[in-house]
Structure 1
Amino acid sequence: MTGSDVLPPSFRLGYVPGVTPAKWARIWADRLPRTPLELVQVPSAEAVALVRGDGADAVLVRLPIDRTRLHAIPLYTETTVVVVPKDHLVTAADEVSLDDLADELMLHPLDDTLDWAGPPGRVIDDRPATTASAIEIAAAGTGLLVVPQSLARLYHRKDLTYRPIVDAPQSSVALSWPEDDTGELMEQFIGIVRGRTVNSTRGATPPKPKQASKKAPAAKKQSAPRGAKRGKPRRRS
């Protein structure tokens, strides 16, 4: 291994609220036990700046983002839900539509992660700074909140519940990293999130095992058929 191939001492991964990298972190620890994976939670609005400013080798973010000089691999899409008090009429249904929320007071936090102009219904002008603070306001009975399901679970409260919205924009989670990072550790993590096995390599076809050469069987000595008389040797005169 040359000096340029030496692995750095650790890999730093940023992730936004609601995203849980624990599964990938466990796989990393199994495959690269001597290279620590550092997890850094970062607000959604600061995730791209973190990876652009060398604060992380890669980040798990919610799309859309500014992809200038960044790669982004979409990983999965989340269900969108409406967070409501447990005694709200919405809880009578298993799922709702945006039209069902048309007459409701709605909260629209400044860190909203959904790709839309704003939620349906009567949006409250005073926008909470964060989703976490919007959850507190919803618990007080002042407005409903539309978020990705993982955020509803992250900020779970006993006095709140949520219902899926069938026709709302959905939140996609992606892995993003700088375009100029082609290092071995980055490739290792990409392989992990894409589900590659430990023995697989990117774009490589495993060589076929060599087959042992088989020796041709020795020719069998033919014996005379049964009952046949052997000729006597001729006498020399």
Structure 2
Amino acid sequence: MPEITIQAADGGSFMAYVAKPRQTMAPVMVVIQEIFGVNQVMRDICDDLAADGYIAICPDIFWRQEPGIQLTDKTEAEWKRAFELFGGFDVEKGIDDLIATVKVGREIEGSNGKVGTIGYCLGGKMAFLMAARSDADCNVSYYGVGIDALLNEATGIRNPLLMHVAEEDKFVPKEAQAKFIAGLKGNGNVTIHVYPGMDHAFARVGGEHYNRDAAMQANQRTAEFLKKNLK
């Protein structure tokens, strides 16, 4: 079952890549894409989560603009198209699609009923919003963008949220980081780790700013967080 179709709340449907573990009655992780679509990087993350015992579902949240697009971070033309899609992305409809995906995750064959989300870049922002607006059991945000402008959402966070922040993120200025870190400090459901010297997408294998040590540390923290909250 490499792909499934999910019905959107406002009509239409979208594709989601699915990776399943060998065992049944497993928790589900909704993997939220970067600005490059459900590409090989996202599919590899799903496959790794399946190897760790999770059902991983990565929905195509760009489907309203260009269904099935898969870009890389290797060419200027692909970066340009990725930013066009990012600029045209409807966050509100994206959240609706992710909530629909969580619902499917609770009911999909082999699910134990528990569902978390994990997102990167744009997906990191969406994971933050899912923590505030959805009933997902836990959420993980890797170098989410624009979160400083979303602090009014923080009061809605009632389930655990883990955030990985790149100290030298070229898309999230230090002032923005300081603002949301301070703004979330009083919420006991939120755990934030800052990675000194790291740039955006430090955990993207093969990416320009990939850092093996920092990625391993973040991923280990994520693994422990998911085990605690979903297994």
Normalised by the shorter chain, which TM-score bucket?
under 0.3
TM-score by length of 2: 0.28
Could you say which structure has the larger radius of gyration?
A: 1
Give the structure, 1 or 2, with the largest relative contact order (CA under 8 Å, sep 6 or more): 1
Query: Normalized against structure 1, the TM-score is what?
Result: 0.27
Compare the two structures and name the one with the higher helix fraction.
Answer: 2
